Structure 1
């Protein structure tokens, strides 16, 4: 979330635009990664990392979620620098998951169905700026293949009225400051959490009841 002055400006803009945050449950990916032994990592960006973390840590098969910054340098990977919108970072989460319990494609389906509006360029309601862009950071060639195929599939499906602008990117992930970690769990009554992230967790439970864990 932006510092308060920027947040107020973004909120005024968002109220005027008021776009939908997601298309609801989107089709399952036709191309997915094969089940594999051992844990794997996914890195996803799509708006404030508080909500991404809150959703994915409640998905069955996910072992750990860390909020952080992806797509920029280590030297600039701190909140005050990223908020300047000049570092190239995106607010992102690093998801450690068991591919025998939840596939990479299923993580992407949750991402598009619950956490992110992939038609918004360099913003996610109510946050504005390239650090809030919708972006996928594949960790291996198979993930890149699945992500590209899924974006193309969703584009053909008509799930969204506007073109998908989610980017496939590369770059390291750096954990965010400690106070950003487990933010919803530690601050359940924070106004931003109540307004924007509690509904996302509710959507995960409604759309993916077999994967949801409280």
Structure 2
């Protein structure tokens, strides 16, 4: 239930619906005879009446309407086969969100609790000669610092219990790796390792006043049969 924070003690007032507009422009290109594809997109989104969490009243949540929230940024992507057996996927995203006063936005949908910069690179290479059945790959995903308001969960703290507290997640990088062996044209086995160095980090920070850790190192072995 969303209500105006200035009307907590009075009648419930529903917030107006979100309104806004968006602008986007982009370009695509091909290189090396179409083996490598590139994409660039530039965008700006303007919205009014974004619901931002303020506090809780008994079992109800109190929100205020944020006016003039704007998101601007761009994306660059590269994907394709640079040479026989060598595939590359890379991307960079810049996303900047602020309200009309230049302040941060703490909404469950549109928010500045997400990183402003994200870089992802992954590459695979199929070996040649006697090892041509083996494919190895590795990738890095990096994101800049971000933060969010998380409700203090300690019931013993009667003064601050349930009140928002800002938590910062510094920028971090995660490394993934894989190895695939193709026995024949039908059968292959792949070993995937995510978060290779078992990095501890927050993700989803600030979503509905909560925060949780990201996935630790995981190892997955799969076998596939193609008809």
Identify the structure with the greater strand proportion. Answer: 2
The structure whose RCO (Cα within 8 Å, separation 6+) is larger is 1
Pair in the same fold by TM > 0.5: no
TM-score normalised according to structure 1 size? 0.20
TM-score normalised according to structure 2 size? 0.19
Identify the structure with the greater helix proportion. Answer: 1
Structure with the greater alpha carbon radius of gyration: 2
